[in-house]
């Protein structure tokens, strides 16, 4: 007689055999069979968050840091809806997250009968915020649907995929699938670029004397190939999400200074830019008004990227690492950059850093002070806050392609849960998560998740008593009227004490690096509060994007 198992047990074993080391979520009536099996099996770590929004961000950061599959488990209806914002961010960031949620019993699904957690057309809601969404409609189909969903999440362009499993399906008994014993999750191989197209691209690039490579997060796995091209004479600049693909102390990279005045001026002299794995998104190109070099070629795994933001002279569809490797092979001995171009890149980087620091006032040394005390391989996590948007996202050096985690879609409140997920996926590396007080208190309850899980995480809270970014925008557009941007927040020292977490308050720039250095030595979480009122006002950084011309460009 063949062995049998519950579908809930199948889910737990599937996650384990699919390489998931940790899952995040909130237990509920509609996911209890799955979580009961995960608990009994004890093969993967489950992190019980205080809310689905936080759990989703934890799974997102875990996926970004590990490069593997993140797992999120929520309830149905309101529970699944609570995770929508985190799924939107995971989709924006291209994070491979498998979201498992429950559903009403099949007899009641989509019939409006008012069962517990019933949501009209939940599958459509999940489809709107995920790369794809599926429902397991029969117990025997569970393994096939899960396999398809996980593979789709991991197939570039990667992203979150949701799966509904009705509660009666989770409890159903099936014959144990024989393939589970030797199961491996198969993902399609990288898209190999066409050899003739690579030849054509190399022919275009070979004559360039001042070539520049723009790298995005879609080239995160192409660091070695980017370094080969830099050795041939390419200058390198990155999107903010692509930082660290080439270590930012490499002499040929400008890092994330992609739209600063000196660099934009430099673009006028670049005779060819190759864009690899980047959307050239509006958020960091001044809504597509950044003046890029006139001649551009683009490499992307998604054919829909062709012309989606900026147009290009030549588009090559394929995996960035394979394409850049093929390009480097074809350019060896053929590319002859202008003499002095490499020195010009180094000088431009130094001048850009110096000019950028001059805009930061009392905060000009913060990036340097933090970098000095953080290990080279530390993970640098940020919430959306004034300090992140300025020095945190550009001036702080990043050395690895998975060392930088932040809300690419610019939603606040994800910093602390991103930090927790990053710490659980860090494999022993140190993690510092910088949050503003506004974003920190948005997911405040997850402080107790950090304490409960004893994650090795330094929470660096930049406390200015409100929404600093919003106030600067109000200064520009609303004559300085700061409606609804100030809050009466809990005291951070008292909050840390309640959670059993060490707390240090910093009141000057000179106190920052010793405070963070001491916090990094703490086993488990620690909180460093920066009193921005004591240090001084943060200089205005916000500049509105220009109005679009009538033709849309």
Output the CA torsion 220→225→230→232 (10° steps).
-160
- More confident call, 410 vs 334: 334
Read off the pLDDT band of 469 (50, 70, 90).
Answer: confident
pLDDT digits (tens, 9 = 90+) for 262-285: 999 999 999 999 999 999 999 899
- Average pLDDT of the residues in 317-337: 98
The SS3 assignment for 271 reads coil
- Segments of 260-347 assigned E as strands: 272-276, 296-300, 314-317
CATH classification code of 195-353: 3.40.50.1220
Residue 540: the pLDDT is 87
d(CA 529, CA 461): 5
d(CA 508, CA 511): 5
Q: Do domains 4-182 and 195-353 have the same CATH topology?
A: yes
Predicted TM-score of the model (pTM): 0.95
Please, how many CA atoms are within 13 Å of residue 509, restricted to the half-sphere of its CB? 13
Q: How far is residue 15 from each of residues 95, 163, 202, 523, measured CA to CA in Å?
A: 17, 13, 43, 29
331 neighbors 236 (Cβ within 8 angstroms): no
- In b/e form, how buried is each residue of 46-68, taking b as 16+ CB within 10 angstroms? bbebbbbbbbbbbbbbbbbbbeb
Q: Tell whether the model's pLDDT for residue 541 goes beyond 80.
A: no
- Rounded to 5, what percent of the chain is helix, strand, coil? 40, 15, 40
Domain 359-535 adopts which CATH fold? Answer: Rossmann fold (3.40.50)
- In b/e form, how buried is each residue of 4-15, taking b as 16+ CB within 10 angstroms? ebbbbbbbbbbb
**Residue 446: partners with Cβ closer than 8 Å, 6 or more residues away:** 49, 50, 51, 54, 416, 417, 420
Residue 551: the pLDDT is 47
Q: How far is residue 109 from each of residues 123, 157, 165, measured CA to CA in Å?
A: 10, 31, 11
Helix (H) / strand (E) containing 535: helix 532-535
Instruction: Give the domain ranges of the chain.
Output: 4-182, 195-353, 359-535
CB under 8 A, 24+ apart: contacts of 32-40: 33/6, 33/7, 33/8, 33/167, 33/170, 33/171, 34/8, 34/73, 34/100, 34/165, 34/170, 35/73, 36/8, 37/6, 37/8, 37/9, 37/11, 37/12, 37/13, 38/12, 40/12
- Average pLDDT of the residues in 335-364: 97
Q: Tell whether the model's pLDDT for residue 357 goes beyond 90.
A: yes
Residue 550: the pLDDT is 46
What is the average pLDDT value for the chain, to the nearest integer? 95
**Secondary structure letter of residue 253 according to DSSP:** B
Peptide bond into 157 cis (omega under 30): yes
The SS3 assignment for 236 reads strand
Helix (H) / strand (E) containing 132: strand 132-135
In 3D space, the residue among 419, 377, 371, 424 whose CA is nearest the CA of residue 395 turns out to be 371
Residue 2: the pLDDT is 66
Mean pLDDT comparison of 182-186, 501-505, 543-547, highest-scoring range: 501-505
Look at the chain and count its residues.
553
Which parts of 67-194 fold into alpha helices (H)?
78-82, 84-93, 122-129, 142-154, 167-171
* Lowest-confidence segment of 218-232, 366-380, 483-497 by average pLDDT: 483-497
pLDDT digits (tens, 9 = 90+) for 145-184: 999 999 999 999 999 999 999 999 999 999 999 999 999 9
502 neighbors 526 (Cβ within 8 angstroms): yes
Q: Tell whether the model's pLDDT for residue 71 goes beyond 60.
A: yes
- Tokens 């192409």 correspond to 222
**Residue 125: partners with Cβ closer than 8 Å, 6 or more residues away:** 80, 81, 84, 119
Portion of the chain with pLDDT greater than 90, in percent: 90
In 3D space, the residue among 304, 303, 274 whose CA is nearest the CA of residue 202 turns out to be 274
- Average pLDDT of the residues in 58-87: 97
Output the CA torsion 40→45→46→48 (10° steps).
120
Residue 163: the pLDDT is 98
Please, how many CA atoms are within 13 Å of residue 398, restricted to the half-sphere of its CB? 33
* Lowest-confidence segment of 75-84, 90-99, 169-178, 479-488 by average pLDDT: 479-488
246 neighbors 216 (Cβ within 8 angstroms): no
Domain 4-182 adopts which CATH fold? Answer: Rossmann fold (3.40.50)
- Tokens 């889910």 correspond to 11
Query: Is the CA virtual torsion 248, 420, 103, 10 positive or negative?
Result: positive
The SS3 assignment for 298 reads strand
d(CA 529, CA 512): 9
Q: Angle at CA 45, nearest 5°, toward 84 and 35? A: 65
Residue 543: the pLDDT is 57
In 3D space, the residue among 103, 138, 98 whose CA is nearest the CA of residue 120 turns out to be 103
162 neighbors 135 (Cβ within 8 angstroms): no
Residue 281: the pLDDT is 92
Q: Tell whether the model's pLDDT for residue 548 goes beyond 80.
A: no
Read off the pLDDT band of 112 (50, 70, 90).
Answer: confident
């Amino acid at each position: 007689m063949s062995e049998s198992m519950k579908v809930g047990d199948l889910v737990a074993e599937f996650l384990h055999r699919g390489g998931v080391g940790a899952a995040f979520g909130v237990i509920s009536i509609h996911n209890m069979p799955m979580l009961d099996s995960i608990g009994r099996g004890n093969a993967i770590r489950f992190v019980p968050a205080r809310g689905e929004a936080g759990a989703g961000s934890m799974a997102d950061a875990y996926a970004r840091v590990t490069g593997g599959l993140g797992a999120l488990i929520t309830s149905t209806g309101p529970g699944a809806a609570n995770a929508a914002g985190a799924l939107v961010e995971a989709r924006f960031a291209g994070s491979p997250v498998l979201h498992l949620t429950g559903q009403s019993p099949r007899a009641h699904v989509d019939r409006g009968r008012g069962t517990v957690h019933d949501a009209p057309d939940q599958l459509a809601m999940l489809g709107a915020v995920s790369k794809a969404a599926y429902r397991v409609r029969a117990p025997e189909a569970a393994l096939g649907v899960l396999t398809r969903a996980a593979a789709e999440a991991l197939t570039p362009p990667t992203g979150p995929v949701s799966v509904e499993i009705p509660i009666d399906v989770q409890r159903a008994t099936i014959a144990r699938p024989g393939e589970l014993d030797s199961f491996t999750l198969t993902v399609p191989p990288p898209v190999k670029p066409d050899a003739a197209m690579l030849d054509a691209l190399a022919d275009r690039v070979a004559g360039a004397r001042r070539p520049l490579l723009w790298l995005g997060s879609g080239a995160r796995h192409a660091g070695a190939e980017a370094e080969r091209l830099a050795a041939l004479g390419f200058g390198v600049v990155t999107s903010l999400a692509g930082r660290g693909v080439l270590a930012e102390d490499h002499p040929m990279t400008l890092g994330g200074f992609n739209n600063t005045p000196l660099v934009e001026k430099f673009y006028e002299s670049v005779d060819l830019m190759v864009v690899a794995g980047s959307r050239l998104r509006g958020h960091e190109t001044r809504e597509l008004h950044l003046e890029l070099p006139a001649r551009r070629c683009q490499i992307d795994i998604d054919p829909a990227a062709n012309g989606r933001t900026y147009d290009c002279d030549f588009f090559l569809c394929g995996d960035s690492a394979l394409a850049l490797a093929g390009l480097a092979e074809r350019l060896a001995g053929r590319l002859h950059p202008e003499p002095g171009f490499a020195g010009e890149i180094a000088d431009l980087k130094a001048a850009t850093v110096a000019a950028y620091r001059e805009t930061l006032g009392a905060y000009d040394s913060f990036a340097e002070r933090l970098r000095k005390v953080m290990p080279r391989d530390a993970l640098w996590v940020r919430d959306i806050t004034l300090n992140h948007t300025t020095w945190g996202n550009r001036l702080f050096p990043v050395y690895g392609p998975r060392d930088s985690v932040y809300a690419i879609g610019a939603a606040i409140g994800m910093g602390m849960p991103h930090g927790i997920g990053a710490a659980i996926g860090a494999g022993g590396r140190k993690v510092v998560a910088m949050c503003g007080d506004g974003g920190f208190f948005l997911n405040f309850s997850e402080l107790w998740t950090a304490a409960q899980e004893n994650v090795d995480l330094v929470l660096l809270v930049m406390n200015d008593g409100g929404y600093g970014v919003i106030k600067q925008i109000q200064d520009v557009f609303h004559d300085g009227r700061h409606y609804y941007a100030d809050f009466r927040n809990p005291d951070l020292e008292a909050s840390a004490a309640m959670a059993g977490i060490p707390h240090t308050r910093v009141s000057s720039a000179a106190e920052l690096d010793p405070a963070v250095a001491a916090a990094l030595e703490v086993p488990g979480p620690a909180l460093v509060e920066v009193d921005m009122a004591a240090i001084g006002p943060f200089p205005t950084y916000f500049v509105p994007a220009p109005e679009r011309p009538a033709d849309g460009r």
